Structure 1
């Protein structure tokens, strides 16, 4: 039997584990007949994952039914309510969407290499299929492993950060905000490929520094990285590493880091509170390749280890006139 030609449909079937065979109406009928949830709830969870209405064509597989069965069983057990499950689903959708984009963008180059080599299939889809067949299952196992490890670390952080008894989602941390100086102007003068390499190098080095000193990267925004630490010493050490590894590289733009300490809300994998905003605003008054902090952070740094210098008051958007503090190790 001749091999099936490479096609978008074949790649989709390989990625989904089955060919789409159910329309929205047909899925709704299955939900009504087999599951203990309403079709509207099924649509809410689909949207919470980040997907639009697929229209009238065949878009769903038996695996979609299995996923909705998991939702139905969880709600029936009553351990989590509908709103909590929707928030968890939205978190999964948002995180995995970014991961999928990252994975595909990373592997695009490898697809091009395979198609230009002696093992070319004659189709980019063919090489994509080959990559998925070889990488898909191992990466799936690695993803599950990483999730368990990060889940354990997240639980430990809630305890280690001393979350307030009245609200486990509120705790005091030191927030760090690292920002590439003049990145918008710099990017206007360089190619898209150069911009991509710089952003990747910046995020890689910043993330390594955060991991090394026990912090957590909350999010990256291309030209900036937001992270949190249990205390200001680790937050400073991260900032110092970032300045040295990024600011000290002549092929990368300069960098500046703002630090602020205070209570934050931990929600949806993000952090919220005045300390987050202040750390970001601090970078607007920091010099190139320097670390600047608020007074609370400076007061918490051990005096025998750090030199602090209060700078003249200057306006900080949203906070009025503040006296930022330049900090460095003795």
Structure 2
């Protein structure tokens, strides 16, 4: 039996309370006043987190007061200036929004199975049960992962040196792995099959990249942007990506572009000519091939075979000669 509209509304409220762990009893004006911030500054922080303004509605509780109070304390104590707080808040909001969407998407199959197997009458009931049982443990895991990544990021910055310019930019090898003929393929798949394909591709790419000591910067559905600190390791990563993805019959071929140079690290993303060049190279690469720029090729030494291709126009870079790279074949005597 399907629940009535009042029951569904009650379940939604229950789910919200289970996730937020508090009741919503304060307006935006009240929460900013109790948190020690003026209303305009509080609204800027709220928008920076990625949330719409709530007007005079009851949309906040005591944990929101504590969060604003922590920000107010940092600002009043001159620990952080307002621009830094807003940048950190914007990055946090963007990251958490994507994580939340990913979590909900990942749980859909579990929720559907619970309903089909009679463990819950509705999706809302199944979601509420999961919130009760799994949310605390996942929250602990989330904080643990954040601390580990924060320590790693701090170590990377420390390794760059003390000069301000060095902290803002560094030389990296940027990789762009792109699924071949993805648009045509996606047009022939239903939503579930397309979602499974993208998740499979992103997961396998992330496994290969991290195994080689690289970092996934972002995924774009049919492409993965990653960085490594060394051109040789970046090339090994790219060739391993081709090998691993090509061996999976359920995945299409990929094309990989690599470029080395100075990039700017900002808010978890990377910017600069090598990022754009790596993307352009992946777009002109043949299936299951790796193309690199001259700076990457010069750093490879004798470990790989390289071949310079005829010049071709690359948007934003003029006519360039891509260089194809492959594993060096061992010499066999007859």
TM-score range, shorter chain: over 0.9
Q: 1:248 to 1:121 in 2, by over 3 A?
A: closer
The alignment status of 1:268 with 2:267, answered yes or no, reads: yes
RMSD, matched Cα? 1.6
Q: Using the TM superposition, give the Cα deviation of residue 286 of structure 1 relative to its aligned residue in structure 2, in angstroms.
A: 0.7
Q: How does 1:212-231 map to 2 (within 5 A)?
A: 212-231=211-230
Q: 2:278 maps to which residue? A: 279
Report the CA distance between 1:155 and its aligned residue. Answer: 1.6
Inter-partner Cα distance in structure 2 for 1:38 and 1:21: 19
User: How many Å apart are 1:114 and its aligned residue?
Assistant: 1.4
Corresponding residue for 1:26? 30
Pick aligned residue for 2:305 from 298, 307, 318: 307
1:248-283 deviations in whole A, cap 9, x for unaligned? 322211100000000000001100000000000001
**1:183-198 map, 5 Å:** 183-198=182-197
The counterpart of 1:11, out of the listed 11, 15, 35, is: 15
Stretches of structure 2 lacking an aligned partner (at least 5 in a row) = 1-5, 329-334
Q: Greater shift after overlay, 222-231 or 165-174?
A: 165-174
Provide the rounded CA distance (Å) in 1 between the counterparts of 2:219 and 2:24.
35
> TM-score of the superposition, structure 2-length normalised?
0.92
Q: Is the 8 A contact 1:259 1:294 kept in 2?
A: yes
Q: CA 1:164/1:184 → structure 2, altered by over 3 Å: closer, same or farther? A: farther
Mapped to 2, the partners of 1:259 and 1:204 lie a distance apart of: 20
Distance 1:252 1:74 in 2: 49
CA distance in 1, matches of 2:24, 2:267: 31
Q: d(CA) in 2 for partners of 1:29 and 1:52?
A: 19
Q: Describe the SS at the equivalent of 1:265.
A: strand
Distance 2:116 2:189 in 1: 27
Q: Which residue number in structure 2 is paired with residue 322 of structure 1?
A: 320
The equivalent of 2:250 in structure 1 is 251
Change beyond 3 A, Cα 1:51–1:198: same
Other-structure match for 2:332: none
Is 1:163–1:169's contact at 8 Å kept on the other side of the alignment?
Answer: no
Contact 1:163 1:171 (C-alpha < 8 Å) held by counterparts = no
- For residue 139 of structure 1, report the CA deviation from its aligned partner: 0.5
Deviation sequence 1:110-162 (CA, Å, 0-9, x none): 111112224x2323222111111111111011001100110111122224456
- Indicate the residue corresponding to 2:60 in structure 1: 60
Structure 1 residues 214-243: Cα deviation after superposition (integer angstroms, max 9, x where no partner)? 111110000000000001111112111211
Match of residue 129 from structure 1:
128
Quote the Cα distance in structure 1 between the aligned partners of 2:188 and 2:116.
Answer: 31
1:150 aligns with 2:154: no
CA distance in 1, matches of 2:175, 2:162: 19
- Secondary structure at the aligned position of 1:7 is classed as helix
Q: Partners of 2:50 and 2:162 in 1: how far apart?
A: 31
Q: C-alpha distance in 1, partners of 2:308/2:162? A: 30
Per the TM alignment, residue 57 of structure 1 is displaced from its structure 2 partner at its CA by 1.8
5+ residue gaps, structure 1: none
CA gap 1:285/1:163 in 2 versus in 1, 3 angstroms: farther
Cα offset, 1:175, TM superposition: 0.2
CA contact (8 A) 2:309 2:324 kept: yes
The answer to whether the 8 Å contact 2:173/2:261 transfers is yes
